[in-house]
Amino acid sequence: MGLFNNKLKKEVQELKEVVNEQKREIMFLVDDILTIKSSSKSYIGNNYQSYDEAVKEIDKKYRGKADWGVLLTGNIIDVRSAFILGQGVNILNTKKKGDGKREEQWVKEFMRVNGLTAGGLQELAKEAEIEGRFLGWLIWDDEIEWENEKGEKEKGMVKLRYVSWLSKGYKVITDNKDYMKYLEVRWNINGENVVLKENEFVYRGFGGRISKPNEPAPKIWKCLTQIENLDKALRDFREINNLFASPTPHIEVESEDAARRLNERIKKINWRVKKLLVHTGKFKYETPDMSGLVGLEKEVIMLAKFISGTTGVPVHFLGLPDLMSNRATADNLMELVWASTVKEREIWEGALNEVVEKAMMLYNEKKKRTPLVKSNVYIDIQNITEAQWKHLKDVILPLFVAGGVSKEFLWEQIPGLDVQIEKQREEEMDMKIIEEFKRNTVNKEKFKGD
């Protein structure tokens, strides 16, 4: 009976050990699953998933305050802003026979006193590239002096001031029934509550959803992580070169004793690289295998291509001109940057025309004179590519010469050319020719009479 009990106890113990082992295996499996879930969550392709942290990081990178990505971020933002508004704007008179000269001169002075030249506009485009939004605050100033269409000095002009979201943390309030109608802009800093009414500001968002004006998305946001990775790959290049690119001289001898004796002799003569060395044994330079750099180079090029595709900035602007195989490739890449910024130019064109319209309304309210009419002028942003110039030269111009299109149509295709002004100049030229012809005719009749 005792033997039976002992055997039973032994079997029970063995079963317990099997069960405990299975429990341990299950626990290890659970730990592995949790580890996989945790690692997949921490290993992500986008390190910046909120607007707040993305814009702060873009700002730090642009100002050179970030750990990684400073070089490319500044380069991309400056290139894009140059293509968007770097050429400035055209102030077009939409009326015939000079009826809009007063408004045209006023807009020119408004742009001048507010520094909205090509460089000033490019600065605004840069700010919008960083924050993905533009808020312009219209403020009346009695002291600003400007020149009217008669060449007379006047006082009192509207100021336009850019408001940074990073500085103010403002919020745009929209109409409950129309998310495209911006009613107010509000911010509160150090207890100071500021509210801008609809006629005091102009707001535009770049990127993001059209129905969410307070959640824009700067173009560069989508590839911030890739920009950092490229910068880190370049740093890996530097580290590897710093550690291993310099070859180490060595002398191969037959025995340990010979190596010791040779080492003592070298110390005595104080040998340095570039000095002549006579010795027994084989003198060589030892360098490590550098094949790993090939993978790093491919990573840099691949990341540059993805960053270029996301931002529209050609790879040769990112410092890789050797990736352009020929002139046609370079031309296609320039078409890329033009196409990737066309939406921003359209948004800016609408914003600047709204700025002028609201500035005129404020001026009319303060001065109480004959009102300026916004419809008499238009702010035009034009940017023509080499392909468009070629189309104009090879297609439009021959059609005009052959009588297939009108002169007005040809003029409309030329950027920066005001069709109405050209028509007026042509009419004035025709009148001068007619007057000259009449004068010559009268002189000829008078000469015959004499």
pLDDT by residue (tens digit) across 298-322? 888 899 999 988 998 888 888 777 7
Cβ-in-10-Å burial (0-12, 13-18, 19+) of 393 comes to: exposed
Beta pairing, strands 192-197 & 178-189: antiparallel
Q: Residue 48's pLDDT is what?
A: 92
In whole angstroms, give the CA distance from residue 149 to residue 100: 10
Helical spans, DSSP H, in 206-270: 224-244, 256-269
What is the average per-residue pLDDT within 249-260? 77
Length reported for the chain: 450
Q: Residue 384's pLDDT is what?
A: 63
Q: Would you place residue 212 in the very low, low, confident or very high pLDDT band (cuts 50, 70, 90)?
A: very high
Q: Residue 316's pLDDT is what?
A: 80
Q: Residue 38's pLDDT is what?
A: 46
Give me the percent of the chain exceeding a pLDDT of 70: 71
Q: Which residue has the higher pLDDT, 397 or 256?
A: 256
Q: Residue 94's pLDDT is what?
A: 82
Report the alpha-carbon angle 87-121-64, nearest 5: 105
Whether the full predicted model's pTM is greater than 0.75, yes or no, is no
| Tokens 């990737």 -> residue | 340
Q: Residue 39's pLDDT is what?
A: 45
Q: Residue 92's pLDDT is what?
A: 85
Q: What is the DSSP string of 265-320?
A: HHHHHT--TTS----SSEEEEE----THHHHHHHHHHHHHHHHHHHH---GGGGT-
In whole angstroms, give the CA distance from residue 447 to residue 374: 54
In whole angstroms, give the CA distance from residue 287 to residue 293: 14
Helical spans, DSSP H, in 43-100: 51-62, 70-85
Q: Is 154 helix (H, G, I), strand (E, B) or coil?
A: strand
| Cα dist from 288 to 241, 281, 326, whole Å | 11, 21, 36
In whole angstroms, give the CA distance from residue 295 to residue 301: 10
What is the average per-residue pLDDT within 60-67? 94
